Structure 1
Amino acid sequence: MEIFILAISFIILVGIRVPVAWSIGIASLITLLFSIDSLPAVATIAQRMVTGLDSFSLLAIPFFILAGHLMNSGGIARRLIVFAKSLVGSLPGGLAHVNIVAAMLFGAIAGSAGAAAAAIGSFMSSKMEEEGYTKEYGVAVNVTSATTGLLIPPSNIFIIYSLASGGVSIGALFLAGYIPGILTGLILMIIALIWAKRKGFPTAKRASVSEVLKSFLDALPSLMLLLVIIGGIVGGIFTATEASSVAVVYCLILGLIYKELSLDKLKGILIKSAETIALVMILIALSIAMSWVMSYADIPEQVTSALLGYSDNPIVVMIMINLILLVIGIFMDMTPAVLIFTPIFLPVVTALGIDPVHFGVIMVLNLCIGLCTPPVGSVLFIGVGVANTSIKKVIKPLMPLFVGMLISLMLVILFPKLSLWLPELFGL
């Protein structure tokens, strides 16, 4: 009964254009009102929001968001693009490959697909258009490649999954995302290569060894942040939360050294970061409240029984779950989707012997596809906005890249070692 009340009320609220965060909170409250009186129901939702945010691990998210904004304004994106161009600019359709590699590098450092799409897209959009690429193709490459930064650590969404799953190791999740993230980027590059040969896109002159070395040394301080963060977490020097604060200090110092940050610019960065953090945290708080309501109503147990009653074959169940997640990703942003559906699906997959770390990577990769699809694809909207075009025009060049992301997802589902080899190697 409760599952239908929750689902129907949420769909209606979203359908009448109530913001997703408030739709989650109101649907949770409506569902709870069928079990308890109004005053305790409102108090319970508020209490669950506050206690849900009372987590040391969640402190990493505001710091990583601030670090991402500092990177975006501190000259890091431009240096990574120059380095990427020296590596892959000479391939057929070179600027598409530059976009993909730069997005992987920047997303890996910033941990945000939106930040990568905005930073790389604002620089690459005009460059690609000048060299004969269509604006819409540039957007398609930008938004799909930007999602790789959610898999390649550090990644805010893995921190959220760790919270939703009840404490899966953040370090293990970070390491597990490397190979699937790089694999997704390589598949996108293969598709870009095929597309470039079909369309006759231009090829840049091959960079000399000295040019590659120069661009690498220029980008090295930015790339070192990856070593500092991941090395520190895996080596047990600091936690993910402490690593996020180290990232802020590192990015601030780097921006000052590059002379691309000033006090006036820093004030704007702090304000923009605060706005982003407020939006993310209210979404997290309300999603945690909904997760509690679902647990109170035994919805995860009902879903587990239904899915396992249909089939006990892990592949069949994983395909069913992934089809559901693909649909969810079209209509719901990634953060609430992870917080709401992890407690529902994780008991199902663990009952079938699937590793929670492996499932976390599958879930994030699956929902990355939703970030590039209308009507709620936040990264798609950022990419379209930066390039000043329309979603309708971008859909056609997006389709081959969607297929590439789906291929990557299927490979990660079928070969768990793609996710688990690195965590096992480091004993996590």
Structure 2
Amino acid sequence: MTDTDPRTVLVIGGGASGNAMTILLRRAGLAVDLIEAKPDWNATTGSGITLQGNALRVLRELGVWEKVSACGFPYTSLGMTAVDGTLLFLKEDMKTGGEDLPATLGMQRPQLQQILIDAVRASGATVRLGTTAENLEQDANGVSVWFSDGTEGRYDLVIAADGVHSTTRVAIGIPDTSEPTGMAIWRTPAPRPESVTRTDLTYGGPAYIAGYTPTGENTIYAYVVEACRERGSIDSSAFADEMRRLTEQYGGAWPEISKSITDPEKVNYTWFRQLLVEGSWHRGRVVLVGDAAHCCPPTFAQGAAMSLEDASVLAELLTSGRPWDEELFKAYYERRVPRVRTVVDASVQLGQWQLDGVLDADVPGLIGRTMAVLKELP
């Protein structure tokens, strides 16, 4: 970078994309402030996460792959089973991150977040938790920001990584909002049955989809997908009972898994949502990454991967020596949007087939075609 290039960055949001942006920009010598609304930095939130090779490739770029590998459970195939547990189809997972990385790795989501938190801390970035950006005013040279703790700052660039309900997206005048897809998911961590060594999915039965993913030697996360219900209609104290009711008719490993679903505080219920901001992912010197720009149902397990890829591509452009101008932000959008659109559309399609009752849907074919796109570098 030249002496006239911008060097101060505010990252709003400490999830996967915000943490990755911070690590990469600090590595390049930029001054980075990261603010996160949650006082605990979301360090204990979530049950499990499935990371395919293209996500692992970015985690390696961040320098955290060895720690991720030590915590996670790698595997190479995806099984599709009947309601009684009979294996119907076994598909070898494509190595979308290259031959030197596992095809897929499951891990506990809080462990991944803690690894990224540690890397952000080690990067030397300034971190403020329990803090939000209350107001932004920008001009041709940068952005002035007023914070919820009463302080203010001046930055050459603001990166909005504040999630699907991004207040920054609204503040800069981008009207796009996420929409429910009509499906919802129950998720919980559970002990790993010895037979569970990969993701298995069952389409149909008491729910639209039932599945599980190993997240470590002794853990999995299990999930069932059904039609959306009003959250107020479900007493949170009955979450475990409700998830167990939905899973207890499935065979294979499910009887053992269902017995372990007893703690309602460990069960999460979330609606599937979709979003793809069109036109551009920036306004002036404020740019969106991750779920602030796009989100999709977890049917392809690519949400975190797309967010991490956003951070990798944007950091590459910002540290390339180019001016931080409209052309650079346009290049970021144009490079990312075709790939993200493929994932969003395919993720929604898998669910829509279930909602529409399509019995002969080519699920393996759609998965294969989408994974082939993801094998290419972002």
Instruction: Tell me if TM exceeds 0.5.
Output: no
- More strand, by proportion: 2
Which of the pair has the greater relative contact order for Cα pairs under 8 Å at 6+ separation?
A: 1
- More helix, by proportion: 1
TM (norm. structure 1) is: 0.26
